[in-house]
């Protein structure tokens, strides 16, 4: 139990550092990476708390949150590339992709 509590504390500290990087990051890419790291830390915290409370169903919640985090990252990258969630900025050519 102590080991899981120490791991949860380490993940919490890492999440706080990622949150600080997201708020103070010098560039947009640093902020995106920090938010993605924060989401990964959240998945780890959910899994660790599931072990600490002896509730294995929390791992399913952590898995769903990881998938949502991944889809959110892909959506942000697509939005940055195309300026919208539709198609390319100019023309209808597939070579623009």
Task: Summarize pLDDT for 4-63 with one digit per residue, the tens.
Answer: 989 999 999 999 999 999 999 899 889 999 999 999 999 999 999 999 999 999 999 999
pLDDT (0 to 100) of residue 44: 96
Task: Summarize pLDDT for 73-97 with one digit per residue, the tens.
Answer: 998 888 888 876 666 555 555 555 5
d(CA 84, CA 20): 28
- Residue-by-residue DSSP string for 14-73: HHHHHHHHHHH-SSHHHHHHHHHHHHHHHHHHHHHHHHHTT-TTHHHHHHHHHHHHHHHH
pLDDT (0 to 100) of residue 87: 60
pLDDT (0 to 100) of residue 38: 97
Domain ranges of the chain: 2-96
Q: Nearest-5° angle of CA 68, CA 70, CA 97? A: 125
pLDDT (0 to 100) of residue 12: 97
- Predicted TM-score of the model (pTM): 0.79
Angle between helix 2-24 and 28-52 (nearest 10) = 160
């Amino acid at each position: 139990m102590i080991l899981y509590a120490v791991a949860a504390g380490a993940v919490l500290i890492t999440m706080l550092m990622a949150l600080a990087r997201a708020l103070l990051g010098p560039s947009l890419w640093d902020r995106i990476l920090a938010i993605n790291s924060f989401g990964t830390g959240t998945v780890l915290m959910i899994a660790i708390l599931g072990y600490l409370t002896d509730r294995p169903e929390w791992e399913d919640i952590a898995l769903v949150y990881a998938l949502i985090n991944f889809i959110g990252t892909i959506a942000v990258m697509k939005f940055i590339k195309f300026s919208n969630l539709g198609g390319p900025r100019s023309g209808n050519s597939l070579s623009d992709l």
